[in-house]
Amino acid sequence: MTLFKQIAIIFSLFIILIMGSVMYLNFNSANNFIQNQLYTTAEDTATSLGLSLSMNIPQNSEDLSTMETMINAIFDRGYYESIILKDMDGKVLIQNKNILKVKNIPNWFINNINIVVPTAKTQISAGWIPYGTLSVKLHSGHAYMQLWNIFTEILETFSILICIVFLCLYFLLKFVLKSLKGVENQAMAITNNDFIIQEKLPFTTEFKNVIKGMNKMVVKVKDIFEHEALMVQKYNDLLYNDQDTGMGNRKFFSLRLSSLLNQNDAKSSGTIVIFVLNNFIEAKKSVGYKVLNDYINKLAEIFYNTTSSVEERVVTRLKDSEFSMILPETNYENTKKIINHFLQSAEDITPNELRKIPDFFISGGATYYNEEDNQKEILSRADFALSSAKMKNETYVHFHEIKNDESLMELGQEEWYKLITNAIKNNGIKLALQAVKDIDGKIFHQEAYLRMSDDKGNIYPARIFMPMLNNLDLTDDVDKEVITIAIKLAQRNTSIAINIAPSFIKNNENLYWLENIFKQSTEQNLQVSFESSNYSVINNLENYINFSKLVQNYNYSFGIDNFNITKQNLEYLQDIKPAYIKADKSFFIDMHDDGKSNIYESFKLLTQSLDIKLIGTAVEEELQCNNLKEIPIHLMQGAYIQKPTL
């Protein structure tokens, strides 16, 4: 029970007790007053009527008509229960009685209120000789009527006062405890790594001191969080960035290529191009460090600018004279356009000093990749292509076997449309599942990878048909089918994670549809996680913040896949509040084994404070698994843990 309710109840009981006591005392006083008033009135009537009767005592004891007339006159014009005249022997001479009837008053009131109406008596005498006794008793109905009116008036007044007091009490407590509610919100916010500072201080001294203390604590916790985030950010720059150009280095190239190969979607295929500046050492000797360094920095800008149209593209400086591009979802034609643009731009910014150096030109080797390749095979093909390009002795890029060898690639749009829509209608959308397990082999969840089958039973990976979904405007339809399948799997007690694309969550109709699905499954407690790549989250941050809140409101989870530290401040994790982040095993191993384990501890502190679980992906062999266990990373995913299965 809240403090507000406790105080309100105590005050309410106290006020009701006080008001009830006052009401009871007032009512009893009114009752006694009315009873005394009844007796006084009856006594006055008895006295005055007795005197009148004493003056009209008949000579004949049988003739009582005059006295009876006088008694009747008094009885009829008054409100009496009885007027009785008795002789000295107790014989009733004259008797007038009125049956007790009280209208417009509830029976419960009459039954519970005991009114004692006294009888006034007076002696009638003829001179010095006593004649009889006159008894007068007023009707109690009049008393009940008066008491009922008093009772209702007191009750109305009491009710009005109670309402006024309760209203004042409510606003007073709200005002006094408002600051305490702020302290509660601060405490709850800290557990979610939200840092709230209360600017307005209450006038209550104790509350003011508490809030000042809470504000100081919040500032300290926020400073610690931001400091650790900054340390991790700086360390990441040292580990993965080239210090001269700000581009990624060889470690970053290896990390991102590994992540892309293990995404098992359209981005798991694309093109890699490696460039080299020939005769670099001679150029450095001839033109000096400054001229060459300025040229390389301009070249780095061209790398970023010419590849800006490719999502999740990776540009790196592998060593002093060697650079690379990773272009996910990019075919031969688009790659060639990007390379030609790059070479032309590079030619335009080359200074005359470098043009004069013999054999100073750019050579490049390009090759395809997909999830079936490993890094060694890809780099071998790229190196072979690069060697072929160098033999030209001029600026040139050699393409190594970049071709489309999938039969589906030759289909036209109408054939694609028919194939995909048939797959949606005829259960041709499939999910290959790959388990994320802890070090004891227990399944944390199973990540779903999109597959499609045709009417002949052939299964195709996402990289084959995903590019056509956008062209045919079928992405949302397939995503809905994937979510529907995932919900059905979860209903069989399977914990499942599915990828959600930015295009899906940007459409409000899709979100309404998804929320209806959530509402229908509210009481089933399904274990479904939605995840997106770190790149998608950062570049659509506001959309994903809202989507994460929607998912968490219905007790589902949101996670970040292919996590890596970018120039984006890590504070976005506070807004997203993911249940887990997945990162390539090299991300954790490099961070831990770089001789700066305190940086890993900083990263671990950040994620633990946000209740984020860490999952190492692309675990392909036992050594990698053991390295993750030593860090320790308790959750792992990859071919060594379990291969994707339909």
Give DSSP secondary structure letters for 91-135: -EEEEEE------SS-HHHHHH-----PPEEEEEEETTEEEEEEE
Q: What's the Rg (C-alpha) of the chain?
A: 47
Do the strands 270-277 and 362-369 form a parallel or antiparallel pair, or are they unpaired? antiparallel
- Residue 55 corresponds to which amino acid? M
> Could you tell me the end-to-end alpha-carbon distance of the chain, in angstroms, rounded to an integer?
51
DSSP strand pairing (322-328 vs 443-453): unpaired
- What's the token pair of residue 628? 């993750």
Which letter does DSSP use for residue 555 in this model? Answer: T
- Cα–Cα distance between 85 and 94 in angstroms, integer? 5
Which of 471, 472, 477, 411 minimizes the C-alpha distance to 450? 477
Q: What is the pLDDT of residue 405?
A: 47
User: Residue 78: what pLDDT?
Assistant: 63
Dist CA 188 CA 390 (whole Å): 62
Confidence at residue 192, expressed as pLDDT on a 0 to 100 scale: 63
CA 467, CA 413: separation in Å to the nearest integer? 11
Distance in angstroms (rounded) separating the CA atoms of residues 46 and 52: 10
DSSP letter for each residue of 16-58: HHHHHHHHHHHHHHHHHHHHHHHHHHHHHHHHHHHHHHHTT--
Distance of alpha carbon 462 from alpha carbon 124, whole angstroms: 122
Q: Two tokens at 631?
A: 């860090």
d(CA 133, CA 105): 34
Side by side, the strands of the sheet bearing 322-328 are: 314-319, 322-328, 270-277, 362-369, 396-400
AA identity, residue 314: V
Q: Which whole-number Å values give the CA distances from 490 to 267, 446, 486, 512, 521, in the listed order?
A: 27, 10, 6, 21, 10
Which two three-digit tokens encode residue 244? 């001269």
DSSP type of residue 645: B
Angle 205-240/250-261 helices, nearest 10 degrees? Answer: 100
Element (H, E) at 164: helix 140-191
pTM of the model: 0.69
Q: Are strands 443-453 and 429-438 parallel, antiparallel or unpaired?
A: antiparallel
Quick one: tokens of 13? 């009981």
Of the candidates 241, 260, 246, the residue with the CA atom closest to the CA atom of residue 375: 260
Query: Residues in the chain with pLDDT < 50?
Result: 404-405
Are 194 and 218 in contact, with CB atoms under 8 Å apart? Answer: no
Pairing mode of beta strands 314-319, 362-369: unpaired
**DSSP conformation letters of 386-405:** HHHHHTTSSSEEEEES----
Structural domains of the chain sorted by starting position, each given as residue range(s) with its CATH number in brackets: 3-163 (3.30.450.20), 264-400 (3.30.70.270), 412-636 (3.20.20.450)
The H-or-E segment that residue 482 falls in is: helix 475-490
Q: Which amino acid is at 174?
A: K
Q: What phi and psi values does residue 456 have, to the nearest 5 degrees?
A: -95, 0
pLDDT at 104: 73
